[in-house]
Amino acid sequence: MNIEFSQSRPEGLRLIAQTADKGKLPEGLEPAMKQGADAARFNGRVGQVFDGFVERDGAVIRVAIAGAGDPGDAKRSANLERTGAALAAKFQSAGVEKIGLDGGNLKADELAHLLMGLRLRNWRYDVYRTKMKDEQKITLKSVVVFNPPEGGEAAWSAAEPVAEGVEFTRELVTEPANAIYPESFVERCQARFDGTGAELIVLDETQMHELGMGALLGVGQGSMRESRILAIRWNGGKQGEAPLAFVGKGVTFDTGGISIKPGPGMEDMKWDMGGGGAVAGGMLALVKRKAKANVVGVIGLVENMPDGAAQRPGDVVTSMSGQTIEILNTDAEGRLVLCDALHWTQKEFQPARVVDFATLTGAIIVSLGHEHAGVFSNNDELWSDLDKAGKTSGDSVWRMPMGPAYDKLIESPIADMKNIGGKAAGSITAAQFLQRFIMDDTPWAHVDIAGTVWTDKAGATWDKGASGFGVRLMDQLVADTIER
């Protein structure tokens, strides 16, 4: 979606939108619109949209009023994103290509939040749809903001790269596995980061064999698609300062391997690379807005398939760290990808902090549903920073427990550890597994996003499908802890 700014209302607009705080209609509104809003019980509640037709300057135009709620609400920013999203949902396929948005009664940061919600909710991926009816097709392509508040355009310019990052994550997560696999994931990132100033590093299977990444390579050995490691490095901070590292699980399709998943619902496993997609989108946001921070994003990319070369339950693999792992279930593959990606990240970049993102366990959905991602951390300060960033960004997180008592659940009789515990504490034992690959007590957090990366119902700023969860959390964490 294209967003433009104009000091005055451009001519020829067919649709003009205004916001209304709770209990207060916009000034100068025509009597017919006032009466219509009253009849429709419009009171400015967040997400309400009332529209009608009026004559202005000799032309009949459509006017929409979107409820922005109470201006004193502590959730004002989130409410305004919902306001923008409601406008997008209302007019996305309504036959108009451009909305004229009157920004005169908004502050600069409020306008940025409203535009964020409008743009994110208007995103939809229709690349593969060829037989849509006209009334189903997206017609809304641009917004022109007139009468903007002082600093409004600058506020949106700072926020727009974050919207672009969320959209890139949604694109990667939405694409089918025959379009996005390890090699093509890398190629798409190379295209999107071209000319941005970021450095991209790619490891192929030969290089990973030389490094001893037996855990990651074991997951992908049953696929015709070669595995990859992708690192995206951005040095926008102080020279020589240790970076913040984001590490993502990029299983581009997960059949479960030899421990094959049930057929119904397996198509959803195209989004098992949601953690890697989030890291790619988060890095794009940070790079595009020229974040004043040193950050590196590392993504372990594999496809988990069950052919004659696939690893078997009972196999033992050696990770890059030298620790050995007994494979009891080949469907517990994400932690095998992450353990080598985490070790390589620490060896290669010596990060000050590490945060990994992964659609790691179904058990986290049992625990938290689809409202929060689960966070496991060895560091209280890092958890606190993530919690704060989650509340500010809207990517909600909830801390889960860890402790030595859970380690016994992944003890192996023949190797250093096994890749699954029993039926109990599935998300916790996965985190305990990953913690064994964190070096020298480096502050680390594992964010299990299995319940938040994809949704079967529309949310505040997204339609059904990929949510883009994680991008805004990463961006806010950097803003709060490094750029502050």
410-to-63, 117, 318, 426 alpha-carbon distances in Å: 61, 43, 16, 10
Catalytic residue list contains 261: yes
Q: 65: which residues sit within 8 A by CB, 6+ positions away?
A: 17, 18, 19, 20, 25, 26, 29, 33, 37, 42, 49, 50, 51
Q: What is the DSSP letter of 99?
A: E
Q: What is the enclosing helix (H) or strand (E) of 342?
A: helix 334-349
Count each helix (H run) and each strand (E run) in the chain, helices first: 13, 19
Q: 335, 353, 418, 472: which one is catalytic?
A: 335
Output the CA torsion 400→273→235→188 (10° steps). Answer: -160
Beta strands in 14-108 (DSSP E): 15-21, 49-56, 59-69, 98-102
Question: Can you tell me which residue has the tokens 């620490």?
Answer: 346
Cα separation, 460 vs 299, whole angstroms: 28
Calpha distance 283→278 (Å, rounded) = 8
Residue pair 260/306 in contact (Cβ under 8 Å)? The answer is yes
Q: Is 355 in contact with 445 (CB distance < 8 Å)? A: yes
Q: Which of 225, 261, 391, 436 is catalytic?
A: 261
CA dist 199 and 285 (Å) reads: 15
Q: State the virtual CA torsion across 124, 125, 129, 133 in degrees, nearest 10.
A: 10
For the question of residue 335 being annotated catalytic, the response is yes
> Annotated catalytic sites, by residue?
261, 335
